[in-house]
Structure 1
Amino acid sequence: MDEIQQMKIKNFKYLNQIASKGATLFTGSSLMEMFPVCEIARSENYDQIIYNRGVGGLNTDEFLENINALLLDLEPSKIFINIGTNDITEDKYGKQWMSHLMDNFSKIIEITKNNLPAAQIYIMAFYPANLHLPWQTEESIQWMRLRTPENLARCNKQLQMIADEYGCMYIDCNSSLVDEHGEQKTEYAIDGVHMYANGYLKVFDEIKNLI
């Protein structure tokens, strides 16, 4: 992890000391960190306490190393999790990136279930990406080259199987986010992976009855 990620996690540790137990938690990497769920929920007149513990750039190894600060210490009653897209790379994990990702994801769910057996866990499908935006650079295309519709669909199928195995709820919010090619719609796209708030408003519409 870099210094910024370490700073964010250290800050969460302090905040967790005063946080309310039994609240709703959204946790994961940048796709969760950039979800303005607390503000959207407040604007929609939700009274529930919601925490966001997303940290941009985290992979599943780093999430496991910091699972206390990012999840367990809050003792939430509802957990929405989106972690693992940063594992979709051969640069670090080689051809075994998929098995590495899913093995670690299963470990995260096992640890959570063992420590918080009464919590409801919602496994969120990975959002669509878009490698064909007009503002893509060679560098960005290389960075996200494996985030094809086919690979993301494979990941989401595995996430759904994990959800079924561990008695979690799998949530796929992608129907309103994808274009006719199965890629992230241009109007939501920041860089082809991350979304503006208009995309997250669509996500919130899909999950608001579960919060």
Structure 2
Amino acid sequence: MKSIRNRYNRYALIQFLFFCTILIIGQTANSQEIGFKEEVAGLVEKLDQQGWEKGGVVFTGSSSIRFWKTLAEDFPKTNTINTGFGGSQAHELLHYLEPLVIRYAPKKVFIYIGENDINAGKSVRQTMTEISLIIDRLQAELPDVELYFIGTKPSPSRWEKSGQMQAFNAELNTMALSKDNVYYISVWDKMLDKKGQPNETLFVEDRLHLNEKGYKIWRKSVKGFL
């Protein structure tokens, strides 16, 4: 009887959170565009054609994940699935959680999101609210999943917003400490030079995305959590 009651309670929670998510997405749709529809559809189709297995490790979020082309080589013993898309923001990842994360039933999810939000003018508070909804939805649908948030990197092209980026990282770390099975991975200090400035040698020409050296730091930062 207790087992049946627990299953019912979990189902009710999932339905409630799903309703809240749809409501919030609907409320923000007028002020925040949900983009990347075609890109996400194409990514899902490509993954289906390649084939995938449930229970692996999903890497998702914005273009810093999308451009991590060496995931399989970096973690050869891990069943990785890369669903990074566009220059996405938290509300867009929230919108696409089902096709990009949930359907793969992953045991672990590594997420890089928030940098584009802050750069676009969102407040730290709004971004964190949307990330909290991401966590709630994933934990309701995948109760045993472990969530790892990679903190914002110190992009040279966005250095004027470094104060907000660091404030966001601090809030993200605090949130991770307050929730079960949620973890924060810091990369900020590892990507600074001796003067405390962004290490330009870790980035490609746009001074935003990572080169091989930059991803090497991310690989080392993530490896211990796999």
Please state which band the TM-score falls in when normalised by the shorter chain.
0.7 to 0.9
Q: Structure 2 regions of 5+ residues with no counterpart?
A: 1-32
Aligned ranges 1:44-63 → 2 under 5 Å: 46-63=76-93
1:122, 1:169 within 8 Å by CA — same for their partners in 2? yes
Q: Secondary structure at the match of 1:54?
A: coil
Partners of 1:23 and 1:77 within 8 A in 2: yes
Alpha-carbon offset, residue 24 of structure 1:
0.7
8 Å Cα contact 2:39-2:86 kept in structure 1: no
The normalised TM-score by structure 2 is 0.76
How many residue pairs get aligned? The number is: 190
- For 2:194 and 2:155, the matched residues in 1 are separated by 13
Over 3 Å counting, the alpha-carbon distance change for 1:210 and 1:161 in structure 2 is: same
Residue number in structure 2 paired with 1:139: none
Residue 28 in structure 1 maps to residue 61 in structure 2: yes
Report the 3-state secondary structure (helix = DSSP H, G, I; strand = E; otherwise coil) of the residue aligned with 1:112: helix
Verify the 8 A CA contact 1:81 1:122 in the aligned structure 2: yes
Counterparts in 2 of 1:145 and 1:129: CA distance versus 1, 3 Å: closer
Moved over 6 A (4+): none
**C-alpha distance in 2 between matches for 1:2 and 1:159:** 23
Counterparts in 2 of 1:31 and 1:21: CA distance versus 1, 3 Å: same
Deviation at 1:8, TM superposition (A): 2.4
Query: In the alignment, is the contact (CA less than 8 A) between 2:118 and 2:165 conserved in 1?
Result: no
Pick which of 48-57 and 201-210 moved more: 201-210
Q: Which residue of 1 aligns with 2:139?
A: 113
Say whether the 8 Å CA contact 1:26–1:79 is kept in structure 2.
yes
The C-alpha deviation readout for 1:119-168, integer Å capped at 9, x for no partner, is 1111111111214xxxxxxxxxxxx46532x2221110000011112221
State the partner residue of 2:96: 66
Cα distance between partner residues in 1 of 2:195 and 2:68: 24
- Cα distance, 1:76–1:58 mapped onto 2, change above 3 Å: same
- Do residues 194 (structure 1) and 209 (structure 2) align? yes
Instruction: With a CA cutoff of 8 Å and minimum separation of 6, indicate the structure with the bigger relative contact order.
Output: 1
Distance between the aligned counterparts of 1:206 and 1:8, measured in 2?
28
Match of 1:103 in 2: 129
Which runs of structure 2 are paired with 1:1-211 in the superposition (5 Å)?
5-15=36-46, 17=48, 18-41=51-74, 46-89=76-119, 93=122, 97-131=123-157, 144=158, 146-148=160-162, 150-167=163-180, 168-190=182-204, 191-211=206-226
Report the TM-score when normalising by structure 1. Answer: 0.81
CA contact (8 A) 1:184 1:192 kept: no
Going by fraction, where is helix more abundant, 1 or 2?
2
* Equivalent pair of 1:12/1:69 in contact (CA under 8 Å): no
C-alpha separation in 2, matches of 1:56 and 1:47: 27
In the TM superposition, what is the alpha-carbon distance from 1:185 to its structure 2 partner?
0.6
Percent pairwise identity: 23
Q: CA deviation at 1:38?
A: 2.0
1:71 Cα deviation from its structure 2 partner: 1.2
Residues 173 and 6 of structure 1: CA distance in aligned 2, closer, same or farther (over 3 Å): same
